[in-house]
Amino acid sequence: MTIIAGPAARALASLSPSQVRFIRRLPKAELHAHLNGSIPLAILQELAQSYSPPSADGQIGVSNDTVQAGLEKLRNGVTIEAIGDFFGLFPAIYALTSTPEAIARATRGVLDAFFQVDDGDEEPECTYLELRTTPRSTETMSREVYLRTVLSVTSSYSHSLPPLPESIAHGSTRRRISVIASLDRRMSVEVMEEIVDIAIRLKDEGLGLAGVDLCGDPNKGNVEEWKHIFEKARIGGLGITLHIAETLENSPEETLKLLSYKPDRLGHATFLDEEARKIVMENQTCIEICLTSNLLCKTATDLDSHHIRHWLKQQHPLAICTDDILPFRNSLTAEYALLFAKQPLGLGLTEDEVRTIAEMSLDSRFLD
Ligand code: 6MZ
């Protein structure tokens, strides 16, 4: 059961039952969801019951107290003063998902949140999901085992769902769930290279590995070092999405450098200047918009001044996404409610406008 609160919940509560039904029935793709940020709290609590901090070989584990304090924060609702605070939530979550069994359990929990049909709902949260995750190596698994574990769960879950209708599949695979391997800006170049090599190999095995992402604390890392890594990913047939210009501190030079990697999609793209906007527009690069995430991380002041307004005017390809449903307490339906609800609770878009955005999300997925 997903907890929904905050701006998206208020927008959802303002809609009539038939408007909510309209959103639920819309075929749509969730293209920007981080696995470890999307685990239902109940699943983390379940994993915490069997957690014991690794202590072998002098390795310093995350203590039980730290894990409990992290869960307590997530239970009570997280207040984020600045985006940097947000990344402090993950050590406790990572401690609980550091074995193949735990990451498999967590993945199933995330997929249930997106695909299980609750009482009273006719349709799942989304029609198609690209779930992204950062492969970690731990005491009990390598990065390859991490990715294979996630892919084995997503693949069998996808097969258990009715396939995508041909009208949406556009002649491509009728798979409902794909995986994106995330490269964290805090990683070394060697580790990023290792992950891209693994990702290309797994893609070729046909398990539904569709692309790579650049994520992590936007104020860390050096964009001058990564171009060849994304070039290799592209040549290897992987889709590319990049978190870009997520904060005001990301310089225009950095943004232009990232655009030179020729991404297929962009995450957030909140602080693009005129030059960057022109490039994005010329290339018609889809922007993954995460409204609640931006509001709660305070990278957007309110919906009215949110950069989505600019892109809507240009009829630019967009995908509405949740980012991390665990700390942000949102859902894909509630994010769409932010489009649909009347101002000031939402953007006040019409049914046709919302439908067009949902279609854009499906058109922007990484195809096999
Ligand atoms: C940048 C984010 C993010 O990959 O371990 N992540 N990176 N901006 C965001 N917006 C607020 N939200 C999540 O999922 C968790 C990881 O995703 C990235 C962070 O690096 C976080 O550690 P996975 O499954």
Closest-CA residue to 56 (of 131, 140, 115): 140
The pLDDT score that the predictor gives to residue 222 is 97
In whole numbers, what is the pLDDT of the chain averaged over residues?
95
pLDDT > 90: percent of the chain: 88
| 257 alpha carbon – ligand 1 mean position (Å) | 21
Is pLDDT of 120 > 80? Answer: no
Q: Express each pLDDT in 266-315 by its tens digit.
A: 999 999 999 999 999 999 999 999 999 999 999 999 999 999 999 999 99
* pTM of this structure: 0.97
Give the ipTM of the model, two decimals please: 0.99
| Residue 177 DSSP code | E
Which numbered atom of ligand 1 lies nearest the CA of 324? 12
The pLDDT score that the predictor gives to residue 58 is 46
Residues 6+ apart with CB under 8 A from 175: 158, 163, 164, 208, 368
The pLDDT score that the predictor gives to residue 56 is 53
Q: Is 321:31 a contact under the CB 8 Å cutoff?
A: yes
The pLDDT score that the predictor gives to residue 200 is 98
Angle between helices 143-160 and 100-115 (to 10 degrees): 30
The pLDDT score that the predictor gives to residue 173 is 80
Q: Express each pLDDT in 11-70 by its tens digit.
A: 999 999 999 999 999 999 999 999 999 999 999 999 999 998 876 554 557 899 999 999
Look at ligand 1, atom 13, and give the residue with the nearest C-alpha: 34
Between β-strands 209-215 and 177-184, what pairing exists: parallel, antiparallel or unpaired?
parallel
Over range 111-138, report the average pLDDT.
93
Q: Around Cβ 142, how many Cβ atoms within 10 Å? A: 14
**Three-state DSSP class for 132?**
strand
The pLDDT score that the predictor gives to residue 122 is 79
The pLDDT score that the predictor gives to residue 40 is 97
Q: In DSSP terms, which residues pair with 178 in a beta bridge?
A: 130
| 133 alpha carbon – ligand 1 mean position (Å) | 8
Between β-strands 265-268 and 239-244, what pairing exists: parallel, antiparallel or unpaired?
parallel
* Architecture of domain 6-363 in this structure: Alpha-Beta Barrel (3.20)
Over range 128-136, report the average pLDDT.
98
Which residues sit with their C-beta closer than 6 Å to ligand 1?
A: 34-37, 86, 90, 133-134, 182, 184, 215-216, 243, 246, 293, 297, 323-324
| 288 alpha carbon – ligand 1 mean position (Å) | 14
Best of 143, 150, 182, 288 to mutate for ligand 1, by most ligand atoms within 8 A of CB? 182
135 vs 121, higher pLDDT: 135
Is pLDDT of 171 > 80? Answer: no
Over range 131-152, report the average pLDDT.
97
Instruction: Give first-to-last CA distance, the chain, whole Å.
Output: 31
The pLDDT score that the predictor gives to residue 55 is 65
Over range 127-155, report the average pLDDT.
97
Q: Where are the domains of the chain?
A: 6-363
Q: Is 223:192 a contact under the CB 8 Å cutoff?
A: no
Over range 65-86, report the average pLDDT.
91
